[in-house]
Amino acid sequence: MVVNSVRFLLFFIVVFTVYYLPVSKKYPRFQNLWLLLSSYFFYGVADWSMVPLLIGATIVFYGLGLWLKNEMQKQHRKNASRLTTLGVCLGIGLLLYFKYLNFFAESFAELLSAIGFKATWTTLHIVLPIGVSFFTFKLISYIIEVHREHIEPCKDFIEFATYIAFFPTLLSGPIDRPNTFIPQLRRSHSLDYVQAVDGCRQILWGMFTKICIADHLALVTDSIWADYTSQSGSTLLIWTLLYTMQIYTDFDGYSNMAIGVGKILGFNITRNFNHPLLARNIAEFWRNWHISLTSWITDYVFMPLNIAFRNLANWGVMLAVVINIVLIGLWHGANWTFGLFGLYHAMLYVPLVLSGSFGKNKKLRPNDHGLPKWTDLWKMLLNYFLVSLGFIIFHADSIADAFRFFGGILSNSLFSMPSLPLKKATLLFILIVLILEWTTRKKEHPLQLSTDGIFKYTVARYLLYAGIGLMLFLFAGEVETFIYFQF
């Protein structure tokens, strides 16, 4: 049941109606219970067999949080540290078992065979629970934040379970922190018209980027990749640039829809993208791309490592960065391509660390005509190109496939005319997104319209919404699943 489907719309109408019933608004616990049941149903539609896993993990970490707090109140610091370590290990263990067990076992067996030892490994039929990479990070951060005394553990199981299973973000994030989300569950929610309208606008924009751009780009990129060995170098190069736009509009589209649904229900969900196409280097890119993941890894992995390696100066920073970014890559899946993807991005950090510009975040300032300065523009274009090369590795089934693709780009037909079955309207929509990336860079999403121009008139705003709705109707095809559902 994807967010941009009719089934989800019908599901959400029922959720919305019961959630805002007069009797519901008086009791936040009832609203939370309704959200929890709705979330389990939503997850069950994806895979009912995995609902017990989600509930079981929630029960374990709920009890662990209360136990941890009890040990801390008794000043049993060693016991508290052991419980925190246990919680982190349990969360990582879930990921290792469901996502990586077969991969590492098969890789180890191949290594033994390569050096002359006979090794057999029967692949286990382990089903990857959808959303496991997202809700396990919620579980881990909850235990860590309780141990750091940044939050009080939830005494109300329904409250905690709703945070873990909140359906708009359950399958593909964003990954909300307990510090910011759980307090929102402790108050009743009445319909906030302004917030709800903004949520609807954000959903509309997310649907536009997903349906009118990402889904149509998928038709092109999928067909080229399926036969990339026979494509010209110019076609493969264009694929490289288009796939980055596809994955951005796909995942940003989902994030906008999830955040918009949350707003309608009265919740402020973590922002996941902040105009990453305007990034001038790889550090800026990762600060603004998949923000909820990168900030999570930065806070819980990079910062402790950076402190541990502080005596190594720049070498320590680089080592922490490499570990950090490689982990971000491997988070995406059990394949060496994701590790190489992370390593490639980590290497792009090296010049920043050596030059002393790592960690600096200079604001973008337009020139006298309101356009990007040339010095910023060429850095944006170069960074986009470098990031796009990395997504070849990300998309490939194997490292060998990735290198064959790179080799195809450098073929003798690099400067031939590319063959792309791409609709002109899709190119127009991409251009619109690129323009809006710059012109709305200070806004959360492009449909947060200014009230001092033409859009101060109600009729102008509604004509814009109707125009986007018409584009959705004209360009909607078969509902395509979101790329990040597989992670």
Strand, coil or helix: what is 372? strand
**Distance between CA 387 and CA 424 in Å, rounded?**
25
> What is the model's pTM?
0.92
**Distance between CA 70 and CA 55 in Å, rounded?**
23
Residue 332 is among the residues annotated as catalytic for this protein:
yes
pLDDT confidence bin for 389, thresholds 50/70/90:
very high
pLDDT at position 110 is: 61
pLDDT at position 126 is: 67
In this structure, what token pair is assigned to residue 238?
A: 């264009």
- 164 has pLDDT over 60: yes
pLDDT at position 311 is: 86
pLDDT confidence bin for 109, thresholds 50/70/90:
low
What average pLDDT does range 359-382 have in this prediction?
A: 86
What average pLDDT does range 135-149 have in this prediction?
A: 95
Region of 269 on the Ramachandran plot (φ > 0 left; ψ -120 to 50 alpha; else beta): beta
Given a contact cutoff of 8 angstroms between Cβ atoms, the answer to whether 271 and 294 are in contact is: no
- 218 has pLDDT over 70: yes
Nearest to 267 by CA among 374, 362, 166: 166
| Residue matched to tokens 């320590």 | 316
Nearest to 208 by CA among 162, 249, 258, 263: 249
- 105 has pLDDT over 80: no
Instruction: Pick the range with the lowest mean pLDDT from 110-119, 284-293, 397-406.
Output: 110-119
pLDDT at position 206 is: 95
pLDDT at position 125 is: 61
What average pLDDT does range 433-457 have in this prediction?
A: 85
pLDDT at position 355 is: 81
With both helix axes pointing from N to C terminus, report the angle between 51-73 and 28-47 in degrees, rounded to the nearest 10: 140
Give the whole-number percent of the chain exceeding pLDDT 70: 92
- Which of the 8 DSSP states describes residue 173? -
What average pLDDT does range 422-440 have in this prediction?
A: 88
With both helix axes pointing from N to C terminus, report the angle between 424-439 and 233-264 in degrees, rounded to the nearest 10: 60
pLDDT at position 115 is: 67
State residue 132 phi and psi, 5-degree precision.
Answer: -65, -35
State residue 372 phi and psi, 5-degree precision.
Answer: -65, 145
**Distance between CA 205 and CA 3 in Å, rounded?**
13
Given a contact cutoff of 8 angstroms between Cβ atoms, the answer to whether 485 and 11 are in contact is: no
- 77 has pLDDT over 80: yes
pLDDT confidence bin for 361, thresholds 50/70/90:
confident
- Which of the 8 DSSP states describes residue 60? H
* DSSP per residue, 200-260: HHHHHHHHIIIIIIIHHHHHHHHHHHHTGGGS-HHHHHHHHHHHHHHHHHHHHHHHHHHHH
Task: Write the CA distances from 333 to 228, 380, 395, 467, integer angstroms.
Answer: 23, 28, 11, 38
pLDDT at position 453 is: 73
pLDDT confidence bin for 460, thresholds 50/70/90:
confident
Mean pLDDT rounded to a whole number for the chain: 88
What average pLDDT does range 183-208 have in this prediction?
A: 93
Which is catalytic among the residues 147, 216, 290, 332? 332
Given a contact cutoff of 8 angstroms between Cβ atoms, the answer to whether 256 and 202 are in contact is: yes
